[in-house]
Protein backbone atom coordinates (compact mmCIF):
# COMPACT_ATOMS: atom_id res chain seq x y z
CA UNK A 1 0.00 0.00 0.00
CA UNK A 2 1.51 3.30 -1.09
CA UNK A 3 -0.68 5.59 1.06
CA UNK A 4 -2.80 4.89 4.17
CA UNK A 5 -6.40 3.91 3.54
CA UNK A 6 -8.67 6.93 3.16
CA UNK A 7 -5.86 9.38 2.33
CA UNK A 8 -6.96 12.61 0.69
CA UNK A 9 -5.44 12.96 -2.82
CA UNK A 10 -5.57 16.35 -4.52
CA UNK A 11 -5.59 16.54 -8.31
CA UNK A 12 -6.17 19.30 -10.85
CA UNK A 13 -9.50 19.24 -12.62
CA UNK A 14 -12.98 17.95 -12.02
CA UNK A 15 -14.17 14.55 -10.82
CA UNK A 16 -13.58 12.11 -13.67
CA UNK A 17 -10.50 13.90 -15.05
CA UNK A 18 -7.60 11.85 -16.46
CA UNK A 19 -5.73 12.76 -13.25
CA UNK A 20 -8.41 10.93 -11.26
CA UNK A 21 -7.99 7.90 -13.54
CA UNK A 22 -4.26 8.03 -12.76
CA UNK A 23 -4.89 8.34 -8.99
CA UNK A 24 -7.14 5.28 -8.98
CA UNK A 25 -4.70 3.29 -11.13
CA UNK A 26 -1.87 4.02 -8.68
CA UNK A 27 -3.72 3.95 -5.35
CA UNK A 28 -6.95 2.01 -5.85
CA UNK A 29 -10.42 3.12 -4.79
CA UNK A 30 -9.78 3.40 -1.06
CA UNK A 31 -8.82 7.07 -1.20
CA UNK A 32 -10.62 10.40 -0.96
CA UNK A 33 -10.35 12.40 -4.16
CA UNK A 34 -9.92 16.16 -3.78
CA UNK A 35 -10.50 17.98 -7.09
CA UNK A 36 -8.77 21.37 -7.28
CA UNK A 37 -9.56 23.97 -9.92
CA UNK A 38 -6.03 25.13 -10.77
CA UNK A 39 -2.41 23.96 -10.72
CA UNK A 40 -1.65 26.47 -7.97
CA UNK A 41 -4.60 25.29 -5.84
CA UNK A 42 -3.50 21.67 -6.32
CA UNK A 43 0.09 22.39 -5.35
CA UNK A 44 -0.96 24.27 -2.21
CA UNK A 45 -3.47 21.63 -1.04
CA UNK A 46 -1.21 19.94 1.53
CA UNK A 47 -0.20 23.29 3.00
CA UNK A 48 -3.87 24.38 2.95
CA UNK A 49 -4.75 21.27 4.96
CA UNK A 50 -7.22 19.91 2.40
CA UNK A 51 -5.15 16.96 1.16
CA UNK A 52 -2.47 14.52 2.36
CA UNK A 53 -0.94 13.92 -1.07
CA UNK A 54 -0.96 15.48 -4.52
CA UNK A 55 -1.10 13.70 -7.87
CA UNK A 56 0.37 16.03 -10.48
CA UNK A 57 1.01 15.57 -14.21
CA UNK A 58 4.70 16.03 -15.02
CA UNK A 59 5.11 14.90 -18.63
CA UNK A 60 3.05 14.02 -21.69
CA UNK A 61 4.39 11.99 -24.59
CA UNK A 62 3.11 14.49 -27.19
CA UNK A 63 3.37 17.82 -25.35
CA UNK A 64 6.57 17.28 -23.33
CA UNK A 65 7.53 18.05 -19.74
CA UNK A 66 5.17 20.27 -17.79
CA UNK A 67 7.67 22.91 -16.67
CA UNK A 68 5.05 24.64 -14.53
CA UNK A 69 4.65 21.43 -12.56
CA UNK A 70 8.43 21.17 -12.02
CA UNK A 71 8.48 24.82 -10.89
CA UNK A 72 5.70 24.38 -8.35
CA UNK A 73 7.11 21.06 -7.16
CA UNK A 74 10.50 22.66 -6.51
CA UNK A 75 9.02 25.83 -4.96
CA UNK A 76 6.72 23.84 -2.64
CA UNK A 77 9.53 21.66 -1.26
CA UNK A 78 7.45 18.55 -1.95
CA UNK A 79 8.89 15.07 -2.38
CA UNK A 80 8.02 12.46 -4.99
CA UNK A 81 6.74 9.22 -3.44
CA UNK A 82 5.61 7.32 -6.54
CA UNK A 83 4.82 7.71 -10.22
CA UNK A 84 2.18 6.35 -12.56
CA UNK A 85 1.82 6.47 -16.33
CA UNK A 86 -1.59 6.25 -18.01
CA UNK A 87 -2.49 6.11 -21.68
CA UNK A 88 -4.74 9.01 -22.66
CA UNK A 89 -7.65 7.06 -24.13
CA UNK A 90 -10.46 9.24 -25.44
CA UNK A 91 -13.96 7.74 -25.17
CA UNK A 92 -17.18 8.99 -26.74
CA UNK A 93 -19.67 9.16 -23.87
CA UNK A 94 -23.42 9.70 -24.15
CA UNK A 95 -26.47 9.38 -21.88
CA UNK A 96 -27.51 5.79 -20.97
CA UNK A 97 -30.09 5.47 -23.78
CA UNK A 98 -27.88 6.98 -26.50
CA UNK A 99 -26.79 5.14 -29.66
CA UNK A 100 -23.81 6.23 -31.73
CA UNK A 101 -25.78 6.66 -34.98
CA UNK A 102 -27.97 9.42 -33.47
CA UNK A 103 -25.16 11.58 -32.08
CA UNK A 104 -25.09 15.02 -33.74
CA UNK A 105 -22.79 17.00 -31.46
CA UNK A 106 -19.77 16.21 -29.33
CA UNK A 107 -18.22 18.44 -26.68
CA UNK A 108 -14.81 18.35 -24.96
CA UNK A 109 -11.69 20.34 -24.15
CA UNK A 110 -10.12 21.67 -27.38
CA UNK A 111 -6.93 19.68 -26.80
CA UNK A 112 -8.99 16.46 -26.59
CA UNK A 113 -10.99 17.48 -29.69
CA UNK A 114 -7.74 18.18 -31.53
CA UNK A 115 -6.40 14.74 -30.58
CA UNK A 116 -9.44 13.10 -32.22
CA UNK A 117 -9.18 14.78 -35.63
CA UNK A 118 -9.52 11.56 -37.58
CA UNK A 119 -12.81 10.73 -35.84
CA UNK A 120 -14.29 14.11 -36.79
CA UNK A 121 -12.93 13.83 -40.36
CA UNK A 122 -14.66 10.43 -40.65
CA UNK A 123 -17.93 11.84 -39.25
CA UNK A 124 -18.30 15.28 -40.83
CA UNK A 125 -21.96 15.58 -39.76
CA UNK A 126 -20.99 15.61 -36.08
CA UNK A 127 -20.55 19.10 -34.70
CA UNK A 128 -17.63 19.84 -32.33
CA UNK A 129 -18.39 21.91 -29.24
CA UNK A 130 -15.61 23.40 -27.12
CA UNK A 131 -15.83 22.88 -23.35
CA UNK A 132 -13.70 23.86 -20.38
CA UNK A 133 -12.63 20.33 -19.62
CA UNK A 134 -13.16 16.72 -20.61
CA UNK A 135 -14.91 15.41 -17.49
CA UNK A 136 -17.05 18.55 -17.17
CA UNK A 137 -18.35 18.01 -20.70
CA UNK A 138 -19.63 14.54 -19.66
CA UNK A 139 -21.32 16.02 -16.59
CA UNK A 140 -22.99 18.59 -18.85
CA UNK A 141 -24.20 15.95 -21.34
CA UNK A 142 -25.71 13.93 -18.46
CA UNK A 143 -27.38 17.04 -17.01
CA UNK A 144 -29.00 17.88 -20.36
CA UNK A 145 -30.10 14.28 -20.97
CA UNK A 146 -30.20 14.71 -24.76
CA UNK A 147 -29.41 11.38 -26.54
CA UNK A 148 -28.08 13.31 -29.56
CA UNK A 149 -25.25 14.82 -27.48
CA UNK A 150 -22.03 13.17 -26.40
CA UNK A 151 -18.68 14.16 -24.87
CA UNK A 152 -15.08 12.99 -25.19
CA UNK A 153 -13.41 12.06 -21.90
CA UNK A 154 -11.83 9.31 -19.80
CA UNK A 155 -13.48 6.01 -18.95
CA UNK A 156 -13.47 7.25 -15.37
CA UNK A 157 -15.66 10.23 -16.33
CA UNK A 158 -18.28 7.82 -17.76
CA UNK A 159 -18.23 5.89 -14.45
CA UNK A 160 -18.38 9.00 -12.24
CA UNK A 161 -21.30 10.60 -14.07
CA UNK A 162 -23.12 7.41 -15.17
CA UNK A 163 -22.54 7.95 -18.89
CA UNK A 164 -22.53 5.26 -21.58
CA UNK A 165 -19.35 4.66 -23.59
CA UNK A 166 -20.40 4.71 -27.26
CA UNK A 167 -16.92 4.44 -28.81
CA UNK A 168 -13.45 3.84 -27.40
CA UNK A 169 -10.04 5.01 -28.65
CA UNK A 170 -11.07 8.09 -30.57
CA UNK A 171 -7.49 9.44 -30.27
CA UNK A 172 -5.42 9.77 -33.45
CA UNK A 173 -2.10 8.81 -31.86
CA UNK A 174 -2.06 5.66 -29.77
CA UNK A 175 1.18 6.71 -28.10
CA UNK A 176 -0.36 9.50 -26.08
CA UNK A 177 0.40 8.91 -22.42
CA UNK A 178 0.86 11.10 -19.37
CA UNK A 179 3.15 10.55 -16.39
CA UNK A 180 1.92 11.68 -12.97
CA UNK A 181 3.82 12.04 -9.69
CA UNK A 182 2.48 11.31 -6.23
CA UNK A 183 3.80 14.09 -3.99
CA UNK A 184 4.00 14.37 -0.22
CA UNK A 185 5.22 16.99 2.23
CA UNK A 186 8.14 14.84 3.33
CA UNK A 187 10.46 12.30 1.78
CA UNK A 188 10.45 8.63 2.67
CA UNK A 189 12.32 6.14 0.51
CA UNK A 190 10.46 2.89 -0.11
CA UNK A 191 12.43 -0.40 0.04
CA UNK A 192 11.72 -1.01 -3.65
CA UNK A 193 12.63 2.54 -4.73
CA UNK A 194 14.76 2.35 -7.90
CA UNK A 195 14.29 5.75 -9.52
CA UNK A 196 15.83 9.04 -8.44
CA UNK A 197 14.75 12.47 -9.67
CA UNK A 198 17.04 15.49 -9.41
CA UNK A 199 17.11 19.09 -10.47
CA UNK A 200 20.56 20.58 -11.03
CA UNK A 201 21.78 24.07 -11.73
CA UNK A 202 24.98 24.13 -13.74
CA UNK A 203 27.28 26.85 -14.88
CA UNK A 204 26.98 27.04 -18.65
CA UNK A 205 30.44 25.98 -19.81
CA UNK A 206 31.46 23.20 -22.18
CA UNK A 207 32.05 19.98 -20.27
CA UNK A 208 30.24 20.77 -17.00
CA UNK A 209 27.30 18.52 -17.86
CA UNK A 210 29.68 15.80 -18.90
CA UNK A 211 31.43 15.84 -15.52
CA UNK A 212 28.04 15.46 -13.86
CA UNK A 213 27.02 12.59 -16.10
CA UNK A 214 30.38 10.92 -15.52
CA UNK A 215 29.69 10.78 -11.79
CA UNK A 216 26.77 8.48 -12.62
CA UNK A 217 28.19 6.68 -15.67
CA UNK A 218 31.35 5.47 -13.91
CA UNK A 219 29.17 3.92 -11.19
CA UNK A 220 26.95 2.21 -13.77
CA UNK A 221 23.91 4.27 -12.83
CA UNK A 222 21.60 4.51 -15.84
CA UNK A 223 20.21 7.84 -16.95
CA UNK A 224 16.45 7.58 -17.64
CA UNK A 225 15.75 11.18 -18.51
CA UNK A 226 17.70 14.36 -19.00
CA UNK A 227 16.31 17.71 -19.95
CA UNK A 228 17.85 21.13 -19.89
CA UNK A 229 15.87 24.25 -19.31
CA UNK A 230 17.14 27.79 -19.73
CA UNK A 231 16.70 29.80 -16.52
CA UNK A 232 14.90 32.99 -17.51
CA UNK A 233 16.82 36.09 -16.53
CA UNK A 234 20.17 34.26 -16.17
CA UNK A 235 21.12 33.49 -19.77
CA UNK A 236 24.34 31.55 -19.07
CA UNK A 237 23.07 29.29 -16.35
CA UNK A 238 21.02 26.13 -16.97
CA UNK A 239 18.66 23.97 -15.00
CA UNK A 240 18.59 20.21 -15.67
CA UNK A 241 15.96 17.64 -14.85
CA UNK A 242 17.54 14.21 -14.35
CA UNK A 243 15.91 10.85 -13.68
CA UNK A 244 18.23 7.96 -12.84
CA UNK A 245 17.84 4.30 -12.22
CA UNK A 246 19.22 4.52 -8.68
CA UNK A 247 18.24 4.37 -5.02
CA UNK A 248 19.26 6.60 -2.14
CA UNK A 249 19.51 3.39 -0.07
CA UNK A 250 22.52 2.46 -2.20
CA UNK A 251 25.92 3.81 -1.07
CA UNK A 252 27.02 4.00 -4.71
CA UNK A 253 24.24 6.48 -5.47
CA UNK A 254 25.06 8.55 -2.43
CA UNK A 255 28.72 8.71 -3.49
CA UNK A 256 27.68 9.93 -6.96
CA UNK A 257 25.57 12.67 -5.40
CA UNK A 258 28.47 13.69 -3.18
CA UNK A 259 30.75 13.95 -6.25
CA UNK A 260 28.06 15.92 -8.09
CA UNK A 261 28.12 18.69 -5.52
CA UNK A 262 31.60 19.64 -6.71
CA UNK A 263 30.39 20.29 -10.27
CA UNK A 264 26.90 21.75 -9.86
CA UNK A 265 25.83 25.13 -8.49
CA UNK A 266 22.95 23.35 -6.77
CA UNK A 267 21.57 19.82 -6.50
CA UNK A 268 17.97 19.29 -5.45
CA UNK A 269 16.61 15.79 -4.83
CA UNK A 270 12.94 15.65 -5.84
CA UNK A 271 12.46 12.11 -4.59
CA UNK A 272 13.44 8.46 -4.74
CA UNK A 273 10.61 6.08 -5.58
CA UNK A 274 9.66 2.90 -7.43
CA UNK A 275 9.72 3.28 -11.21
CA UNK A 276 6.29 2.81 -12.85
CA UNK A 277 5.67 -0.20 -15.04
CA UNK A 278 4.12 1.21 -18.22
Task: Identify the residue among 159, 194, 227, 259 touching its own copies (CB under 8 A).
Answer: 227
Is 11 a binder of its own copies (CB under 8 A)?
no
Is 100 marked active-site?
Answer: no
Q: Which of 36, 90, 109, 139 binds its own copies (CB under 8 A)?
A: 109
- 62: contact with its own copies by CB under 8 A: yes
Applying CB under 8 A, among 31, 66, 158, 264 the residue interacting with its own copies is 66
**DSSP secondary structure code for residue 32 in this structure:** E
Restricted to residues 174-193, the positions that interact with its own copies (CB under 8 A) are 175
92: left (phi over 0), alpha (psi -120 to 50) or beta: beta
Of the pair 30, 40, the CB lying nearest its own copies is at 40
DSSP string, 135-163: HHHHHHHHHHT-TTEEEEE-HHHHHHHT-
Helix axes 251-260, 208-217, angle to 10 degrees: 170
* Binding span for its own copies by CB under 8 A among 26-34, 57-65, 150-158, 159-167: 57-65
Q: Candidates 101, 207, 251, 262: give the one binding its own copies (CB under 8 A).
A: 207
Min separation Cβ 203 and its own copies, Å: 11
- 18 exposed, middle or buried (CB, 10 Å; 0-12, 13-18, 19+)? buried
Rounded CA-CA distance 193/270 in Å is 13
Find the binder of its own copies among 132, 146, 159, 194 (CB under 8 A): 132
What is the Cα–Cα distance from 234 to 255, expressed in whole angstroms? 30
List the beta bridge partners of residue 239. 201, 229
CB of 225 to its own copies, least distance (A): 5
Q: Does residue 98 interact with its own copies by CB under 8 A?
A: no
**Any catalytic annotation for residue 234?**
no
Nearer to its own copies, 162 or 230 (CB): 230
Tell me the pairing of strands 105-108 and 149-153: parallel
Alpha-carbon dihedral of residues 5, 56, 63, 275, nearest 10 degrees? -60
* Footprint of its own copies (CB under 8 A): 38, 40, 59-68, 109-111, 113-114, 117, 128, 130-133, 173, 175, 204-207, 209-210, 213-214, 216-228, 230, 232, 240
Among all residues, which ones are annotated catalytic? Answer: 178, 180
Amino acid sequence: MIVPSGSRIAFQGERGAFSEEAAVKLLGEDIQLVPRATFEAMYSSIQDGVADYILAPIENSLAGSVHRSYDLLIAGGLQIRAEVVIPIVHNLIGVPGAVFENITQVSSHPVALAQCERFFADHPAIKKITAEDTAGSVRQVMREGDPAKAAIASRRAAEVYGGKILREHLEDHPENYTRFLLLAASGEVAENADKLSLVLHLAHKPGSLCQVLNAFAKRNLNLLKIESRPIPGTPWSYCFYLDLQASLKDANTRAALEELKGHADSVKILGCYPQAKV
